[in-house]
Amino acid sequence: MTTLNLASLYEAVAAAVPRRTALVCGGRRLTFEELDERASALAHGLLASGIEPGDHVGLHMLNGPEYVEALLACLKARTVPININYRYTDRELEYLYTNAELTGLVIDEELTPSAARVAANCPKLRLAVVVRTGDTPDEEPSWPSAVNVVEYEAVLEGRPVTPPLADERSSDDRFIIYTGGTTGMPKGVVWRHEDFYMAALKGGNHYGPPYLTAEELAAAAAASLEGFSYLLTAPLMHGAASYNLFTSLLGGAKIAVQRRFDPLEALRTVDEEKIGILMVVGDAMARPLADVLRAHRSEFDLSSLFVLGSGGAILSRSIQEELKELVKPDLFVNNSFGASESGADGTIQIGPDGLMRLAPNPRVTVVDTDLKPVPPGSEEIGTIARSGHVPLAYYNDPEKTARTFPVIDGVRWSILGDMAKVEEDGTIVVLGRGSGCINTGGEKVFPEEVEQALKAHPAVMDVLVAGVPDRRFGERVAAVVELRPDAPVPSVTELRDHCREHLAGYKIPALITFSESIMRSPSGKADYRWAKNVLTSENDEKETPRA
């Protein structure tokens, strides 16, 4: 039986293209062979330190070679890597460490104080591997005696560079992605390796049928262009970033990563490394790139760049047009639609009407409350769902698992939170997250549509839209706006008039307030809880006439 295990698949590719550059970060470069050997050595070191197959190991790091090595090492050792958001507070870290039942941790030294503070409340944690990054922590960490603290390079030193447990690996080995989403505490999405490979990585082939064996995948990687390359600006702990990381590594392509997002340095890297595909997370990263380009365009060649991809957040139509103007007219913009709970579900196209459309896909459908397909052309609003290679569960959360990953007539489904309708030809019109839908006097308003309209204004850098209480209509549409630093400051009336060109009257924000910056996660995801709190505090609940 063919084993589609992520570690074994990478090892096959590394053996096929050992001398190619696999990873670039700052001044460090690793070939596929070097990356494979260091990851194998670390895997042996983790096993020798008491970590066992099936254990959960947290990756609490910023971007860097060690993150990639540790990710591969966990998979090689048949342990489960757990992505940790490095900006979490102590309370959030304690929740995640305990919910994920971490037994081990690989962590950057500057992040150790907070980890040490919560470790005593994490009963299974017994190993912390500290990466010396040169960034001294603000305080000396005080680890509990139950946790064995060792240095990263010491764990690798003297270990075998041959793959461990190669004969014991399975397509059923687990891979977990913790996702914070836009509301609530983080949830661990449990994937089988094979399902993740097929759904999130499209079977190693985004342009045709999947590669169903490691030999097929390795042969395709060897036959690919050696100069093919990616630049990943997003944090590797973000689900969409992991999709792109694995896509490059299993494709035999070079991937460059930034420790922290720096738009000017990103553009320099594109030129220096001849990057073909630049990956960002929505407008939160794309707009700073556009601003730097507008100020420094003559300093860059950028002729190698042919794709701008976004995952985890949608690029607005206005920023797409701006970047094509600044880079080149034929720049291909790939607005990837997907989720940690479903994989890569297709590409969003935003039309002149401002609506987001997803091409028909046999694995993606829109279902009603009874989980029956919504008829095409019916104008009925349903929920996007995916079948086939989908996750098994939310870790340690059977109640949410039952709602999100039901098994119906023997078929496992992933029921996403995105609302949509289906046009006559099967095209899916994506409306937005159902949890954020605003009900104003019985009319449904999806924040994403209003955000797209506001982002089209030249003075707007970023925006979040949420509902606030209204005595007359129940809720009214409200927006918190971040302006471009050098743009003329528009009035609220000007912004509302601008929206009137794109939206029906009931969708126009009745309340607009300004903020120095929009609160987002380090991966660029919208923080709608923050937006709602800001807007509610500004809301005087006066009766508001329709626009």
Domain identity same for 496 and 393 = no
Tell me which of 2-11, 62-71, 446-455 is least confident: 446-455
Model confidence at 390: pLDDT above 90: yes
Tell me which of 285-289, 356-360, 441-445 is least confident: 441-445
Please identify, among 436, 466, 481, the residue that sits at the C-terminal boundary of a domain: 436
- CATH number of the domain enclosing 84: 3.40.50.980
Alpha helical stretches, state H, 338-437 = 398-404
Model confidence at 293: pLDDT above 70: yes
Residue 213 within any structural domain of the chain = no
Domain identity same for 151 and 38 = yes
Alpha helical stretches, state H, 77-227 = 90-99, 112-119, 152-156, 193-199, 214-223
Model confidence at 304: pLDDT above 60: yes
Output the pLDDT for position 132. Answer: 95
| Residue 62, domain extent | 31-201
Report the alpha-carbon distance of residue 152 to residue 71 in Å, rounded.
Answer: 13
Output the pLDDT for position 172. Answer: 97
Number of domains in the chain: 3
* CB distance 82 to 260 below 8 Å: no
The mean pLDDT of 8-15, rounded to a whole number, is 98
pLDDT confidence bin for 523, thresholds 50/70/90:
low
Q: Which residue has the higher pLDDT, 316 or 494?
A: 494
Residue 385 within any structural domain of the chain = yes
Domain identity same for 384 and 516 = no
Average pLDDT, the chain: 91
Output the pLDDT for position 256. Answer: 98
Please identify, among 184, 201, 218, the residue that sits at the C-terminal boundary of a domain: 201
Domain identity same for 170 and 88 = yes
* CB distance 337 to 346 below 8 Å: yes
- Dihedral sign (CA 44, 48, 49, 51): positive
Residue 333 within any structural domain of the chain = no
Residue 154 within any structural domain of the chain = yes
Model confidence at 240: pLDDT above 90: no
Residue 11 within any structural domain of the chain = no
User: Among residues of the chain, what percentage have pLDDT more than 70?
Assistant: 96
Output the pLDDT for position 440. Answer: 83
Domain identity same for 363 and 494 = no
pLDDT in tens, 84-142: 999 888 988 999 999 999 999 999 999 999 999 999 999 999 999 999 998 888 899 99
- CATH number of the domain enclosing 364: 2.30.38.10
Domain identity same for 378 and 498 = no
Domain identity same for 366 and 491 = no
Output the pLDDT for position 547. Answer: 53
pLDDT confidence bin for 542, thresholds 50/70/90:
very low
* CB distance 284 to 241 below 8 Å: no
Output the pLDDT for position 258. Answer: 94
Residue 175 within any structural domain of the chain = yes
Which span out of 171-185, 204-218, 338-352 was modeled with the highest average pLDDT?
A: 204-218
The angle formed by the CA atoms of residues 113, 118 and 121, to the nearest 5 degrees, is 155
Q: Which residue has the higher pLDDT, 67 or 412?
A: 67
Q: Which residue has the higher pLDDT, 102 or 2?
A: 102
The mean pLDDT of 467-474, rounded to a whole number, is 82
Report the alpha-carbon distance of residue 43 to residue 20 in Å, rounded.
Answer: 22
Please identify, among 201, 236, 251, the residue that sits at the C-terminal boundary of a domain: 201
Residue 215 within any structural domain of the chain = no
The mean pLDDT of 76-81, rounded to a whole number, is 98
Output the pLDDT for position 44. Answer: 98
* CB distance 355 to 347 below 8 Å: no
Model confidence at 419: pLDDT above 50: yes
Domain identity same for 430 and 450 = no
Domain identity same for 143 and 191 = yes
User: Among residues of the chain, what percentage have pLDDT more than 90?
Assistant: 67
Domain identity same for 105 and 180 = yes
Residue with tokens 């992505």: 83
Domain identity same for 45 and 157 = yes
pLDDT in tens, 243-253: 999 999 999 99
Residue 18 within any structural domain of the chain = no
Domain identity same for 39 and 147 = yes
- CATH number of the domain enclosing 462: 3.30.300.30
